[in-house]
């Protein structure tokens, strides 16, 4: 009741609402909680309320002084009882006959009250208040719904992959008709007419083309609509699991007040972006890391009132806790305006606790030294308290954030303050990932950890102090083979000196390492699946996903990957790649069809070969006499000299007797294949079944 009286006067603005009054009211709530707990347990509460009631009376009269605030709010049992209140000094008459002071109500004059004015009612219907109906659903059912939605997302990716196959099939049909048209023109010029069977084949081909176009159009539209529905459903299910971060943030003001009182500091907490949504699972897991960071700000970062005054700062320190969405992630910042973190002191403490060696400390920049505070057992606190100094805290923060597929960063300026930044995924169900190839294996790397991807020439890799580095934006970034870290055999560095090597630069805690991979395939949204109990402890892995073609791909754990990269035995990457180099093979492509000639050139040059072109057999033979090629690819039907005659003449030449010749033609009859073998061709590829991989595999097999 006393609290109600005080709050009533605050509401009527009869007394100001001061920090001292706030402390008294919070202390009242603490006592009420103790009384309720004792009542529920059937126990007797051993607390004294006399001192608290006296402070409430002084608060009600506006005479509460700061010095009377209890410095330690909890436990309540430790609050000392106040002296007994002085007896009330009232007149005897008022005590014996209090009714005499009450006037006769009936003798009071009547007070006239004007009749209330009512607005005329109109026929305009009032707008009904919309009340959203809700039901309670167990989180387990939401998890099942989320898993089912994830399966639908996987199928959406698979449907899109099938759409690409349909598109490829349509293009092959168009290519086949192109060859038919060429054959039709030649047949008409040679025979003077078209055979009836050929006319029927041409007609059938046109019908297949029309049906293929129709099928592609219908399937494309259906897939597009289905993808939209699945995406919308996925977003709705995600929104159902989303809760505002204020669910956690709103528990911190009381915590800050209590801890700051224990530390004899004056601190205000400002919360921003409390309505920012975050997955319920992540929200539950992030509370403890945030608590550790706030404790760290109070105990390590913010000064006492006198220290702040001496430093020309406001008496009360400030902590700003904010959340917002950035680039598909949620960013939570905890910043204070305290004394900041001294990198030199951090290094000294790390050396004292033998967390790092002297040599390692000398190599660390001030920015890198700040991240030593996340190492296990690290603390700059000289005295162990309930708040900090126990060597437990920030390493737990880092582990928990990384477990949530997030990262934590720190920035600090001496005498200005410190900012901790937590970057988290909005959900643990899906992520954007870069799909890469290492050797014969495919992996996924979360894009949130990729600072950039680059392609460098071999000569751009330098060796500095026995380490391979690449210079990006005037920074020396260490480079290692991802295959070496994962203990796999790389097949992608067999390139010429002028070829560019794909490197992904990963960044965790301001530690950057470039990983040489064999191929950058694509960037996709993938559904995260756990590895199960038997595989959950596999090093460098964070989960798995299923690609559109149904292939199961491991998602790499970038934090572990960077740690593993530091333990890989140093090798001279540049020399290793040079040792694997083969000479630049030169290939002559002979074809009278300009489109196919350029297509084959593009394929072969993309694989690292040097390619020259000839427009027919005679042109090809003339070029072969002037320069020796390592392999020749030729069509059969060409003006002036066909492919069979070209191959025969090459085999008669001593320098081309053992040079591989590949025939690529539309002729698929067995007698044509036998003739190709008889004239000395090493391979015979039919254009109707022609694709890039078949040609490249054949060339690789013949010359490497």
Q: Which helix (H) or strand (E) holds 421?
A: strand 417-425
Task: List, for residues 415-437, the tens digit of each pLDDT value.
Answer: 899 999 998 887 766 778 899 98
DSSP 8-state code for residue 529: B
Burial of 381 by CB count in 10 Å (0-12 exposed, 13-18 middle, 19+ buried)?
middle
Calpha distance 267→300 (Å, rounded): 13
By three-state DSSP, how is residue 267 classified?
A: strand
579 vs 559, higher pLDDT: 559
Calpha distance 128→359 (Å, rounded): 74
Burial of 509 by CB count in 10 Å (0-12 exposed, 13-18 middle, 19+ buried)?
middle
By three-state DSSP, how is residue 179 classified?
A: helix
Q: How many CB atoms lie within 10 A of CB 332?
A: 26
Q: Tell whether omega for the bond before 597 is within 30 degrees of 0, i.e. cis.
A: no
How many CA within 13 A on the CB side of residue 441? 15
| pLDDT-based confidence at residue 490 (cuts at 50, 70, 90) | low
Average pLDDT over residues 214-232: 77
| pLDDT-based confidence at residue 491 (cuts at 50, 70, 90) | low
CB 139 within 8 A of CB 279: no
Among candidates 421, 455, 456, 425, which has minimal Cα distance to 555? 425
Cα angle 243, 248, 253; round to 5: 145
Among candidates 499, 514, 522, which has minimal Cα distance to 609? 499
Lowest-confidence pick of 6-20, 127-141, 176-190: 127-141
Calpha distance 70→202 (Å, rounded): 98
Mean pLDDT of the chain: 76
User: Residue 281 pairs with which residues in a beta bridge?
Assistant: none
* 97 has a pLDDT exceeding 60: no
Calpha distance 462→465 (Å, rounded): 10
Strands 683-686 and 661-665: parallel
Among candidates 400, 255, 264, which has minimal Cα distance to 332? 400
Phi, psi of 646 (to 5 degrees): -60, -45
CA distances from 316 to 298, 336, 350, 475 (A): 12, 11, 31, 41
CB 50 within 8 A of CB 81: yes
Among candidates 321, 375, 331, which has minimal Cα distance to 351? 375
CB 507 within 8 A of CB 451: yes
Average pLDDT over residues 567-573: 62
Q: Is the dihedral of CA 385, 253, 323, 138 positive or negative?
A: positive
By three-state DSSP, how is residue 368 classified?
A: helix
Lowest-confidence pick of 133-147, 467-481, 589-603: 133-147
Calpha distance 490→483 (Å, rounded): 6
218 vs 188, higher pLDDT: 218
Average pLDDT over residues 233-254: 82
Calpha distance 433→443 (Å, rounded): 9
How many CA within 13 A on the CB side of residue 636? 21
CB 272 within 8 A of CB 246: no
DSSP 8-state code for residue 85: P
Among candidates 562, 558, 541, which has minimal Cα distance to 480? 562
Calpha distance 666→546 (Å, rounded): 38
Q: How many CB atoms lie within 10 A of CB 349?
A: 18
Among candidates 329, 526, 562, which has minimal Cα distance to 434? 526
Average pLDDT over residues 439-465: 82
CA distances from 73 to 25, 50, 54, 281, 629 (A): 11, 15, 16, 33, 89
Task: List, for residues 168-214, the tens digit of each pLDDT value.
Answer: 777 777 777 777 776 666 666 665 665 666 667 777 777 777 777 77
Whole-model pTM above 0.75?
no
Calpha distance 525→234 (Å, rounded): 12
How many CA within 13 A on the CB side of residue 141? 5
Q: At what angle do helices 19-41 and 252-262 cross, to 10 degrees?
A: 100
* Per-residue model confidence (pLDDT) at position 336: 92
CB 400 within 8 A of CB 285: yes
Rounded (10°) CA dihedral 219, 225, 229, 230: 30
Most confident of 22-31, 448-457, 525-534: 448-457
How many CA within 13 A on the CB side of residue 510? 14
Task: List, for residues 278-330, the tens digit of each pLDDT value.
Answer: 888 888 888 888 988 998 888 888 889 999 999 899 999 999 999 998 877 88
Cα angle 239, 241, 245; round to 5: 90
* 593 has a pLDDT exceeding 90: no
Calpha distance 527→517 (Å, rounded): 23
Average pLDDT over residues 371-389: 59
Average pLDDT over residues 323-350: 87
* 447 has a pLDDT exceeding 80: yes
Q: How many CB atoms lie within 10 A of CB 258?
A: 16
Most confident of 134-138, 159-163, 184-188, 189-193: 159-163
Q: How many CB atoms lie within 10 A of CB 704?
A: 10
* 389 has a pLDDT exceeding 50: no
């Amino acid at each position: 009741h006393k609290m109600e009286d005080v709050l009533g006067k605050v509401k009527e603005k009869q007394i100001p609402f001061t920090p001292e009054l706030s402390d008294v009211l919070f202390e009242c709530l603490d006592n009420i909680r103790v009384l309720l707990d004792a009542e529920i347990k059937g126990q007797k509460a051993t607390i004294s309320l006399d001192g608290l009631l006296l402070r409430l009376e002084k608060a009600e009269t506006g005479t509460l002084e700061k010095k009377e605030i209890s410095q330690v709010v909890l436990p309540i049992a430790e609050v000392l009882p106040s002296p007994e209140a002085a007896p009330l000094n009232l007149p005897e008459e008022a005590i014996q006959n209090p009714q005499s002071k009450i006037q006769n109500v009936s003798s009071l004059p009547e007070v006239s009250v004007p009749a209330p004015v009512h607005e005329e009612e109109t026929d305009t219907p009032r707008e009904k208040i919309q009340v959203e109906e809700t039901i309670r659903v167990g989180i387990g059912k939401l998890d099942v719904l989320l898993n089912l939605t994830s399966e639908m997302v996987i199928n959406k990716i698979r449907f899109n992959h099938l759409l690409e196959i349909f598109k490829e099939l349509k293009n092959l049909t168009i290519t086949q008709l192109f060859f038919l048209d060429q054959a039709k023109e030649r047949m008409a010029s040679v025979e003077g007419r078209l055979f009836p069977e050929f006319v029927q084949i041409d007609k059938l081909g046109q019908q297949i083309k029309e049906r293929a176009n129709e099928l592609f159009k219908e399937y494309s539209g259906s897939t597009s609509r289905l993808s939209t529905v699945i995406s919308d459903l996925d977003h709705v299910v995600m929104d159902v699991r989303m809760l505002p971060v204020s669910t956690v943030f709103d528990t911190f003001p009381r915590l800050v007040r209590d801890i700051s009182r224990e530390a004899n500091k004056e601190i205000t907490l400002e919360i921003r972006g409390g309505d920012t949504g975050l997955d319920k699972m992540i929200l539950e897991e992030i509370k403890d890391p945030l608590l550790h960071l706030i404790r760290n700000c109070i105990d390590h970062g913010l000064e006492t009132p006198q220290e702040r005054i001496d430093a020309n700062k406001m008496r009360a320190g400030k902590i700003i806790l904010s959340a917002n969405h950035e680039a598909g992630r949620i960013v939570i910042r905890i910043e204070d305006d305290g004394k900041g973190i001294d990198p030199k002191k951090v290094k000294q403490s790390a050396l004292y606790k033998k967390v790092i060696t002297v040599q390692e400390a000398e190599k660390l920049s001030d920015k890198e030294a700040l991240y030593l505070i996340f190492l296990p057992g690290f603390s700059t606190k000289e005295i162990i308290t309930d708040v900090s100094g126990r060597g437990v805290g920030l390493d737990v923060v880092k582990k928990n954030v990384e477990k949530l597929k997030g990262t934590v960063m720190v920035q600090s300026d001496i005498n200005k303050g410190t900012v901790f930044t937590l970057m988290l995924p909005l959900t643990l169900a899906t992520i954007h990932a870069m799909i890469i190839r290492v050797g014969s294996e495919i992996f996924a790397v979360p894009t949130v950890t990729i600072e950039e991807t680059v392609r460098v020439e071999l000569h751009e890799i330098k060796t500095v102090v026995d380490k391979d580095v690449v210079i990006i934006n005037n920074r020396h970034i260490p480079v290692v083979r991802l295959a070496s870290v994962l203990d796999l055999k790389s097949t992608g560095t067999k390139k010429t000196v002028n070829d560019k090597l794909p490197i992904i630069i990963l960044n965790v805690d301001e530690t950057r390492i470039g990983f040489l991979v064999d191929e950058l395939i694509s960037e996709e949204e993938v559904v995260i699946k756990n590895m199960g109990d038997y595989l959950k402890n596999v090093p460098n892995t964070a989960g798995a996903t299923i690609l559109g073609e149904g292939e199961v791909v491991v998602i790499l754990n970038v934090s572990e990957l960077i740690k593993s990269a530091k333990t890989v035995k140093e090798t001279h990457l540049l020399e290793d790649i040079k040792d694997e180099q083969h000479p630049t093979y030169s290939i002559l492509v002979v074809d009278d069809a300009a489109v196919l000639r350029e297509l084959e050139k593009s394929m072969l040059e993309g694989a690292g070969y040097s390619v020259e072109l000839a427009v027919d057999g005679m042109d090809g033979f003339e070029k072969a006499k002037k320069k020796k090629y390592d392999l020749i690819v030729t069509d059969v039907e060409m003006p002036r000299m066909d492919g069979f005659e070209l191959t025969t003449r090459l085999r008669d030449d001593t320098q081309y007797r053992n040079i591989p010749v590949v025939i690529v033609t539309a002729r698929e009859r067995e007698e044509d294949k036998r003739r190709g073998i008889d004239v000395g061709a090493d391979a015979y590829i039919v254009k109707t079944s022609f694709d890039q991989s078949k040609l490249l595999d054949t060339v690789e097999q013949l010359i490497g």
